[in-house]
Amino acid sequence: MDDMVQAQIEEVSKLLLGLWELSILLESTPESRTSRLVEVVIEESELLLAEMVAIAYLQRNGSPARASGT
């Protein structure tokens, strides 16, 4: 597996773990503080989506270095 794809997969794994931890925090957080946690979950979800798109691109097209012949 390409090193770039592997790095992206590891990043997605970290983001998924972070989202899981945030969901646990949300369950135990008073309602008055949940809005900031929800913002963080949204931000993390956006990062996760971007990483998943990058993985799909790299798997489909290969890494930019490989494509340019370097």
Number of structural domains (the chain) is 1
Q: Is residue 56 part of a domain?
A: yes
> Count of alpha carbons within 13 Å of 9, Cβ hemisphere only?
9
pLDDT in tens, 25-55: 878 878 777 787 788 888 888 888 888 888 8
Q: Is residue 46 part of a domain?
A: yes
Q: Is residue 55 part of a domain?
A: yes
Phi, psi of 34 (to 5 degrees): -70, -25
Question: Distance (Å, rounded) from C-alpha 55 to C-alpha 50?
Answer: 9
Predicted local confidence at residue 65, as pLDDT: 58
Q: Is residue 45 part of a domain?
A: yes
* pLDDT at 67 exceeding the cut of 70: no
Output DSSP code: residue 6.
H
Q: Is residue 36 part of a domain?
A: yes
